[in-house]
A and B are shown apart, each in its own frame.
Chain A
């Protein structure tokens, strides 16, 4: 089926570059570029088939002849408006159009990265770049006695309690009852920070091991502490952190693909930014 709009041929001149742009966009949308300069909207068999197929996808049945006519009429209407709009340059400076084109370009540029699978060497390289991010957490084993609010009186009283602990007294019942454990066995530093606040972990990492010491302040108040074990910072092993590496690698690959693509695009332009005086 072919509709002719019968309009005069008056292309040329100032709108030619819009036509070129339009043709390119049209090519992306339909897979078939219109003949440049041709004022002819061709609804070929392939187009009709595609319209019908999309209808079927949406409505789970083939369109009846009336509906198909409707689709085609609409298609032509869209084409006519679209081309005229391009001729008039209405796409220019339209933020919605620009954002849409940009998103399509990005999706095209990043689709390969999305499907890619990293090699062990690539993961190892990522690991070597920022080992701290993947390093096993320092684990802390310690006991504490909670003394309540951090006040001058509390600090004074702490000295007496500390003396009793160092003298071999059992820590049980010496402090105030709190709904967190009195001793921790190999807990990751971040968990300890979550329970006591960040500053407390610093104190645990520098306290002399094996003896009661303090008072040490936390987000909860004052504590006496006895560190019994502390793991040393260790090198992360690929096998232990593969999933985290893969997650990061993928996210990074997408970012890189997008940036690379943009850099390539941009290298074809001279960008002049005129700063206001």
Chain B
């Protein structure tokens, strides 16, 4: 993760993400989180990088883990349009790491304070990471069990041919059936890999599959460090003996202390409750979409935090009109006056962001043009997975007076399934 933070700083992304926009989309319940100046964000990313190094080296581990989690989560909360599932995974793993004794064996802390050293930790410490990784895979696979993914090979059928210029395999990507192969293989992989990694006999093969799968996704798609996170994370499925053997080869063989890590009883019961609540949330969050009517890929109600990765190719356009109810004068909004091109693209396909932006427009027009209670409506069309577009938002609602909430939103128009493009 240190690499990630330094990569962000080196690539100029900090300016683009925090310097260029004037307006930041907020997560529900975290509207109070504001980004710092560009210079301030450099400091935050510096802190992320250093604390990640601290975790890696096992130096002042607990504090490093805590600081890492806080600073990383903070950067993720500053703008919804930057939300990515794999950043969310980092947030979750960071949270778990705070409570795990991952610094008690092979770390600078042990070198500093040898009394910290233990040979074994309770099994649950390993299981929670396994479970977390398993949850990610399983729900990612579960989300792929949709007609679009399986029977239309969407959106891979759009994405794969764009790599047709690859040497050797390029022509294969351009084949229509290639996308189907990848779709089915991907769904099967996600659903079964946690279980295959658990089995002793299947594990080496499963791990080979992990490496192949993630290296492939790394090469095919613009997904940053995620493949590496998964490739290294899944190593936790190997038993301690394997890790010990590698440590031994590094000249850090097992000591003879045989000391076991035991948590005090009171602490343990607290941790147990915490973990049960945590994992209950992890299981329920991805399923909350079932509480909303309609297609989650369309309404995006219950879409985030649910491991829906690579499922949609969406193009949208949202033209907002602000009207002065007193004079009847109205204006069409040029979104690029207020948003970056990337923010506009993300906003136009996500209803809750459309609402936030509509509220922002109402504030701007009130402030800059002295319009009392401006009405904001939107002409919003979205095309999902290779279809012609449909209206996403009802143009008859004054979004300025609609509030964001977690109930189904009446101004989101349902996805009409018979409006399909028919193809041979």
Partners in one complex: no
Residues of B within 8 A of A (CB): none
Residues of A within 8 A of B (CB): none
